[in-house]
Amino acid sequence: LPRSFGWIGLGAMGYPMAMNLRKRIPTDSILLVNDVDRSAVERFIRQSSGLGRVVEAATARDVAEQSLCVFTMVPEGRHVKDVFLTPGMGILAANTAGKLLIDCSTIDRASSIEVAEAVKALSDVNHPTRFYDAPVSGGTLGAARATLTFMVGIAADDPSFPVLRELLSLIGGAIHPMGGQSLGLAAKLSNNYISSLNALSTAEGMNLAIRLGLDPKVFSNVMETSSGGSYANSVYNPVPGVCPEAPSSKGYEGGFKIQLMKKDVGLAIDAARQVDAKVVLGLTGLGVYSAASEDPRFRDKDARIVYRWLGGIEP
Ligand code: NAD
């Protein structure tokens, strides 16, 4: 494994992922960190003290200049393009020969392919730069527990896969090669299409159950062994108090922001249109997440707050 690592994007996901990385790489290796939000970097440096060297880098270019393996975890395609392609300051302004660049963000495939092509164009044949889309599922709880599922845009028989798997295993659980460039994102967008609608149907079903007089915890337990059960019920239940560790039980803070959920449903619908896949429920889901995202009281909260929005309950 390399001895120098970089991490760009210390948000709800990136922060705990980078912290797990710092805990699991050798103490004499270095971790360069960067985020446009300086307070996140300062907090990270404070909280990782004693785990090994963590150094703030002023730009993405500085991160890439000093590390052999760089992870990125930022919100959208435009942020990923900024981080990689900004002239003079982006990752590709650094000497990246022989380096491994891993983007874990959930973004549109076109942006990811644009970055992959820019990497390829600059890559040295003798010391190729490798770029992979490696989005994750499992949310902030999976990030904190290092149990994330990785969906990687690489073929299972690619000679680079074993190293990639070893690296990703430091911060995740199941590491899946999805077949080739940008297919990690294809899997992630299809997954989130399903999970966003599961979250919505669970929120509506829980609201119905409560209004019919049921105790939410009792009903949720029953669903675990009934056909209405899902991850959205048993791990990220939208009703406060049902899953004590879920964002809903912590004021809907620190989870998956509703505006990111809206982004993912939108990305999945765009992807579906490109391949002529029919989406009926997704359009309704997008409408609900968009409307809730427009309300400043909900915008930055965990997406499962959609339960309160649907029920007309104050956030
Ligand atoms: P977040 O908004 O909490 O964090 C994003 C971080 O990126 C912020 O700290 C922000 O300041 C930083 N950032 C933005 N632009 C930057 C730039 N140009 N340079 C450096 N830093 C920059 O978002 P998150 O919840 O951590 O999500 C990140 C990505 O992971 C998104 O694509 C999201 O869809 C995906 N994701 C999130 C979850 C979840 O449950 N939160 C789960 C799976 C995947």
Contacts of 154 (CB under 8 A, 6+ apart): 132, 160, 161, 164, 177, 178, 179, 180, 181, 184
What confidence tier does 291 reach under pLDDT thresholds 50, 70, 90? very high
Strands (E), the chain: 4-8, 30-34, 53-56, 69-72, 100-103, 130-133, 136-137, 148-152, 172-177
- The answer to whether residues 118 and 154 belong to one domain is yes
For residues 194 and 161, membership in a common domain is answered with no
Tabulate helix, strand, coil % of the chain (nearest 5): 50, 15, 40
The percentage of residues in the chain with a pLDDT greater than 90, rounded to a whole number, is 97
Report how many domains make up the chain. 2
Same domain flag for 174 and 249: no
Ligand 1, residue 263: give the atom nearest the CA. 34
Q: Tell whether 162 and 218 lie within a shared domain.
A: no
Domain termination site, one of 146, 181, 216: 181
Residues 264 and 160 in one domain: no
Do 223 and 128 share a structural domain? no
What is the position in ligand 1's atom list of the atom closest to the CA of 10? Answer: 9
Q: Do residues 248 and 236 make contact, with C-beta atoms less than 8 angstroms apart?
A: yes
**Site to substitute for ligand 1 among 35, 81, 195, most atoms within 8 A of C-beta:** 35
* ipTM here: 0.99
Q: Which amino acid is it at 162?
A: P
Q: What is the per-residue pLDDT for 311?
A: 83
CB 194 within 8 A of CB 282: no
Q: Dump pLDDT digits (tens) for 167-182.
A: 999 999 999 999 999 9
What is the pLDDT confidence band of residue 313, given thresholds at 50, 70 and 90?
confident
Looking at ligand 1, which residue's alpha carbon is closest to its atom 30?
A: 105
Cβ contact 243:237 at 8 Å:
yes
Same domain for 212 and 300? Answer: yes
Closest C-alpha residue for ligand 1 atom 12: 9
CA dihedral 14, 16, 19, 23 (to 10 degrees): -130
Bridge pairing between strands 148-152 and 136-137: antiparallel
Looking at the fold, whether 177 and 230 belong to one and the same domain comes out as no
The protein residue whose alpha carbon is closest to atom 27 in ligand 1 is 75
Is pLDDT at 315 greater than 80 in this prediction?
Answer: no
What per-residue confidence (pLDDT) applies to 276? 97
Domain final position from 148, 181, 214: 181
DSSP assigned state of 32: E
Q: Is 79 in the pocket of ligand 1 (CB under 6 A)?
A: yes
Residue 149 sits in the same domain as residue 198? no
Quick one: pLDDT at residue 314? Answer: 77
Q: Is 120 a catalytic residue?
A: no
Q: What is the CATH number of the domain that holds 272?
A: 1.10.1040.10
Separation of CA 10 and ligand 1 centre (Å): 7
**C-alpha closest to that of 59 among 82, 43, 39, 75:** 82
Cβ(11) – ligand 1 distance below 6 Å: yes
Cα 4 to middle of ligand 1, angstroms: 22
| Contact by Cβ (8 Å): 290, 201 | no
CB 20 within 8 A of CB 52: no
Q: Is residue 221 domain-shared with residue 152, that is, in the same domain?
A: no
For residue 76, how far is its CA from the centre of ligand 1 (angstroms)? 8
The catalytically annotated residue of 99, 188, 263, 301 is 188
Residue type, 169: S
Q: Do 204 and 302 belong together in one domain?
A: yes
Q: Which of 181, 211, 227 lies at the terminal end of a domain, its last residue?
A: 181
Same domain, yes or no: 142 and 263: no
CATH (domain of 24): 3.40.50.720
**According to the model, what pLDDT value does residue 173 have?**
97
The pLDDT tens digits for 197-236 are 999 999 999 999 999 999 999 999 999 999 999 999 999 9
Instruction: Determine the distance separating the centroid of ligand 1 and the alpha carbon of 256, expressed in angstroms.
Output: 9
* Torsion angle of C-alpha atoms 146, 147, 153, 155, degrees rounded to 10: 110
Residue 227 Cα to ligand 1 middle (Å): 33
Domain that holds residue 253: 190-311
Is 151's C-beta closer than 6 angstroms to any atom of ligand 1? no
C-beta neighbour count of 50 within 10 angstroms: 6
